[in-house]
Amino acid sequence: MKKIFIFLVIFIVVISCGKKNEIKNASFDDSTKVDAIDSLIDSIITKKLELNQPIMLDEIVMNDSVNSKKLSKTNNISKDYVKGLYLSAYTIVSKRSKTIIDSAYLAGINTIIFDLKNMNGDVFIDLPDSLDFLNHNEIRIVDIDKIVKKIHSYDMKAVARIVMFHDQYIAGNDFDMRPQNINGGVWVESKRKKPSWLDSSNPFVQNDLLKIIKLVAETSIDEIQMDYVRFPTQGNLSEAQFYFQKQDEINSYNDSLYIKRNKYDVIKEFVKRAHNICSKYQVKLTADVFAIVAWQRKIDYKNTGQKLELMTDYLDMIHPMIYPSHFVSNFNHRDNVENEPYQILYQGTKLTVKHSNKKCKVVPYIQAFNWKSNYKKEYLFAQIDAIKNSGGDGYILWNAQNRYLETLSWIIEKKKGD
């Protein structure tokens, strides 16, 4: 048995080497290259399955045997149905990113989302002094055009994720940019945690973020994805006073016919301004929303400002972040909602489609981590199937630590079986 095993291993290596040479010698325009690459992948996976061995992505990725530029010329993935994956700024600039993106390519992923500004307030690009930005925490590690070129070499779409109104750095250093307390002073959402939220209606805050969006839109980026484009929802909200409310009080006093705004009016106008910038540079604009917003209960869209019918008039895509493990037990009368991924993804996606502008695609973020759940391949595919069956336009994998290799190996195996 040992001899047979050794023989099969040698056989796989010989086949792989032969295929590598075929691919290496083929021209970029060789239409047979896709078949050659697929054949190599198939041969490795088939032999692994026959030997009842785990499929290791490092073997399937082929390391340097197939140059990523060559891969890019042969990838016929449809861009209509989004298959995305999120990476942090630190991951996208690391050597580790090659293994992840190589593996993602083989799994059929066609969109890479990477951070340019996160919820801590870290900004990963250079902000020119001449544009008079607020005092950001700049960690200048991302060269946008270089990263986009890298992603495009795989024939994938490059998306910049920019966190909007959640910014711990500015909130901790500039009290004037935060919501105020109706009793005086600065509003604090939590006495146990450091301040995190800026005033989503403050014109200085909005204009600063729009300048960042414009700066990014001027690059080779394909799409800008706004996250935390909402108002805070934690803490004693009855004590919080936002800039627009103070202004509305003044306007109402001066004009008895003045109609006061809601939070969702503010968010709609901000999204519209961002849309106008992106349209000028032919860059798509998308936004992430709370999962619970999909249900569009009045209390939720009034607190967050995320009213889908208003926001999606100015978005190319909306991304409800529907992680089953983040729902409270007994949500929608489901006792074990965190381990019933199909039900919650189906409902959340279908409701988002229902409440959104028909021209706006619905592409949920899905769970690719095991927190509070029995995460395994069936769990993953239940989410993906639910999105397809409910009229969604794709999915984005989320793992905050960017640990995707096992998840991608499941997708590769399923792809082979389909």
Question: What backbone phi and psi angles, to 5 degrees, belong to 114?
Answer: -135, 150
Q: Averaged over 299-318, what is the pLDDT? A: 98
Give me the pLDDT at residue 416, please: 86
Contact 151, 133 (CB under 8 A): no
- Per-domain residue ranges of the chain: 1-74, 77-417
Higher pLDDT, 102 or 33: 102
Write out the chain in H/E/C secondary structure: CHHHHHHHHHHHHHHHHHHHHHHHHCCCCCCCHHHHHHHHHHHHHHHHHHCCCCCCHHHHHCCCCCCHHHHHCCCCCCCCCEEEEEECHHHHCCCHHHHHHHHHHHCCCCEEEEEEECCCCEECCCCCHHHCCCCCEECCCCCHHHHHHHHHCCCCEEEEEEECCECHHHHHHCHHHCCEECCCCECCCCCCCCCCECCCCCHHHHHHHHHHHHHHHCCCCCEEEEECCCCCCCCCHHHEECHHHHHHHHHHHHCCCCCCCCHHHHHHHHHHHHHHHHHHCCCEEEEEEEHHHHHCCHHHHHHHCCCHHHHHHHCCEEEEECCHHHCCCCHHHCCCHHHCHHHHHHHHHHHHHHHCCCCCEECCEEECCCCCCCCCHHHHHHHHHHHHHCCCCEEEEECCCCCCHHHHHHHHHHHHHC
Residue 25 has pLDDT above 50, yes or no: no
How far is CA 2 from each of CA 10, 54, 107, 287, rounded to the nearest angstrom? 12, 18, 32, 55
User: Residue 415: CA atoms inside 13 Å, Cβ hemisphere, count?
Assistant: 18
Burial of 300 (0-12, 13-18, 19+ CB in 10 A): middle
CA-closest candidate to residue 171, choices 136, 188, 195, 193: 195
Is there a contact between 216 and 162 (Cβ–Cβ < 8 Å)?
yes
Mean residue pLDDT across the chain: 84
pLDDT at 371: 72
Task: Encode pLDDT of 154-175 as tens digits.
Answer: 999 999 999 999 999 999 999 9
Amino acid at 309: E
Name the pairing type of β-strands 394-398 and 82-87: parallel
pLDDT digits (tens, 9 = 90+) for 339-378: 789 999 999 999 999 999 999 999 999 999 987 778 999 9
Contact 399, 368 (CB under 8 A): yes
**Counting Cβ atoms within 10 Å, is residue 50 exposed (0-12), middle (13-18) or buried (19+)?**
exposed
Q: Using 50, 70 and 90 to split pLDDT, how confident is the model at 338?
A: low
In the beta sheet, which residues pair with residue 180? 186, 241
Residues 304/290, Cβ–Cβ less than 8 Å: yes
d(CA 180, CA 163): 21
Torsion angle (degrees, nearest 10) of CA 372, 378, 380, 382: -100
pLDDT band for position 332 (50/70/90)? Answer: low
Rounded to two decimals, the pTM is: 0.81
Q: Which of 225, 91, 199 is nearest to 147 (CA)?
A: 91
Least-confidence region, from 147-161, 165-179, 325-339, 397-411: 325-339
Cβ neighbours, 10 Å, residue 378: 11
- Which of 3.20.20.80, 3.90.180.10, 3.10.580.10, 3.30.950.10 is the CATH number of 77-417? 3.20.20.80
- CB distance 362 to 308 below 8 Å: no
